[in-house]
Structure 1
Amino acid sequence: MTAVVLVHGLYHRPAHFAAVAERLRTAGSEVVVPELHRGSLAADTAAVQAAIDALGEPPIVLGHSYGGSVITGVSGAGHLVYLAAFVPDVGESAAGLGGASPQLQDAIGPGPHGSTILRPDRAAASLYHDCPAPLAARAVDLLRAQAPGCGRGVPVRHGWKHTPSTYVVCARDRAIDPGLQRRMASRCTDVREWRTGHSPFVGRPDLIVDLVREPLAAITSPG
């Protein structure tokens, strides 16, 4: 079965996608969740590109939030999925497209060595407000410091221009304005809208699994 690459956003870790990855593996997919936090968009993109290149066939590549900027710059994907994610065009960055909402910006605080963090007492209200409390608390605990400047990185290539793509608008998102998401979604082949917050991979992992299975089925079906 076609492999799946899951790409997290700023402040997040691969472990945030554990529930999605487990379900996809149980269904028979090879799943790779690269660790970002390489210090720049270019370095993060290179890490994901290496993961794609190591696979034997073009995978489904899903990017969440800032992860959309990352997957925009890769080659070799069979299908791109943008989950409440940035879809930069030539010369654009996530920050330049609009970046974080005022509510999420208010949750950002100073971290060590010039990094920033999300304040634990404010992060859940922006990122996980519609998730069950125990899952939201676990997700907050997993958040890590973020190196500066990644959101201002500009992709070198723009895979959505020539690779089939799906955009998922999260209509109750408090981290990235849903209106901005809808505008970016117009760049993609297919658009869905879910009545969720920013992080359905925490509270509604089955939604993502079902979504990813659609291009998987299309890629693996005969003829």
Structure 2
Amino acid sequence: MSTFPALVLVHGAWHGTWCWQPLIDHLPDLDVRTVALPSNGHDPAVLGDLYDDAGAVAEAVAAIGGPTVVVGHSYGGCPVTESAAAVGNVHRVIYLSALMQDVGDSVLSLVGGVHPPYWDVHEQPRQGKDCGYFEVAEPLEALYGDVEPHLARQSVARLGRQSLASVTQPLTEAAWHTVPSTYILCEEDMAIPLALQEAMAARAERTVRLRSGHSPFLSQPAELARVLRDELAFSIHGRRSSLA
């Protein structure tokens, strides 16, 4: 039985729990859970928002009960930041090329309220403020530049739509103020520039660098698994894992 905390993986925009499978395959001895965020899906009419996502993360962590480390990738950093401190059993938050923001911030506040060029936005103003969704344009370049081509194409085919509400709503909590945190920088990320990652990572207790694109769970899952083992070990022992 593993002596490590449970590991909860929270995907980013457009993705689902499917994206973590190559990484999970390299962590067979750990208790790994994944969270499906309500803000992502294929039917725009039922997409949730940031607070729905935070609730899903909190529910998954609370169900574990014991020591837990939560990983948020990309947008997934937002609901993790919103929810992780309140649950009580989170020993560390790991931001994987993720948004590590403060109370009052939203995804769009990072870019002055302007949608990034690789977002394909579908607004639905008649249904209320911030209604609608967005898809990703040119995902092979933005998300999967260093992923094996066949796997990259398979992943593109599985991407969903992301609610606009999830990226306009502000954080009301910021877990990294009270929960130990690690930031994993992806140095060749085409979706979240390295300079922006580094600015956010300055808030973290620890930083790790990967020479990878935006999706290392697909492009180099073995190396990411090694890094996560180190951080799990540090969260309980204050040192690196002897299994790395």
What one-letter code is carried by the residue in structure 2 that aligns with 1:108? D
- Answer yes or no: is the 8 Å Cα contact 1:101–1:174 preserved in 2: no
SS in 2 for 1:146: strand
The Cα offsets for residues 168-223 of structure 1, whole Å up to 9 and x where unpaired, read as: 1111111111101100000000112222111111111112211111132234549x
1:186 pairs with 199, 202, 212, which one? 202
Q: In the TM superposition, what is the alpha-carbon distance from 1:116 to its structure 2 partner? A: 2.1
Q: Which structure would you say has the larger Rg?
A: 2
Could you say which residue in structure 1 is the equivalent of 2:168?
A: 152
Which residue of the other structure, out of 10, 14, 18, is the alignment partner of 2:21? 18
- Would the aligned equivalents of 2:134 and 2:162 in 1 still touch at CA under 8 Å? yes
* CA displacement at 1:99 relative to structure 2: 8.4
* Correspondence 1:79-90 to 2 at 5 A: 79-90=92-103
Is 2:98 the partner of 1:50?
Answer: no
Long gaps (5+) in structure 2: 40-47, 125-130, 239-244
Give the structure 1 partner of residue 36 of structure 2.
Answer: 35
Relative distance call for 1:100 and 1:197 in structure 2 (3 A) is: farther
Distance across 2 between alignment mates of 1:100 and 1:131: 30
Aligned to 1:169: 185
TM-score by length of 1: 0.89
Matched residue SS, 2:212: coil
CA distance in 1, matches of 2:141, 2:123: 20
Count of residue pairs the alignment pairs up: 217
Q: 1:99 to 1:66 in 2, by over 3 A?
A: farther
How large is the Cα RMSD of the aligned pairs?
Answer: 2.3
Matched, 1:3 2:6: yes
- Bigger fraction of residues in strand: 2
- Could you say which residue in structure 2 is the equivalent of 1:66? 75
Q: Distance in 2 between matches of 1:173 and 1:197?
A: 4
CA positional deviation for 1:107: 5.0
- Indicate how the Cα distance of structure 1 residues 69 and 57 shifts in structure 2: closer, same or farther if over 3 A, else same: same
**Residue 117 of structure 2 corresponds to residue 105 of structure 1:** yes
Distance 1:206 1:101 in 2: 36
1:199 maps to which residue?
215
Structure 1 gap ranges (5+): none
Contact persistence 1:166–1:191 (CA under 8 A): yes
C-alpha separation in 1, matches of 2:219 and 2:15:
15
2:187–2:210 contact (8 Å) kept in structure 1 = yes
Alignment-mate amino acid for residue 70 of structure 1: P
Q: Amino acid of the residue matched to residue 15 of structure 1?
A: W
The separation in 2 between residues aligned to 1:138 and 1:99, in whole angstroms, is: 33
After TM superposition, give the deviation of residue 56 of structure 1 in Å: 2.6
Task: State the partner residue of 2:105.
Answer: 92
In the TM superposition, residue 110 of structure 1 has moved relative to its aligned partner by 3.8
Matches of 2:212 and 2:229 in 1, distance apart? 19
Change in CA separation of 1:187 and 1:220 when aligned onto 2, cut-off 3 Å: closer
1:48 Cα deviation from its structure 2 partner? 0.5
CA offset at residue 79 of structure 1? 0.8
Partner of 2:42: none
Instruction: Return closer, same or farther for 1:149/1:131 CA change in 2, 3 Å cut-off.
Output: same
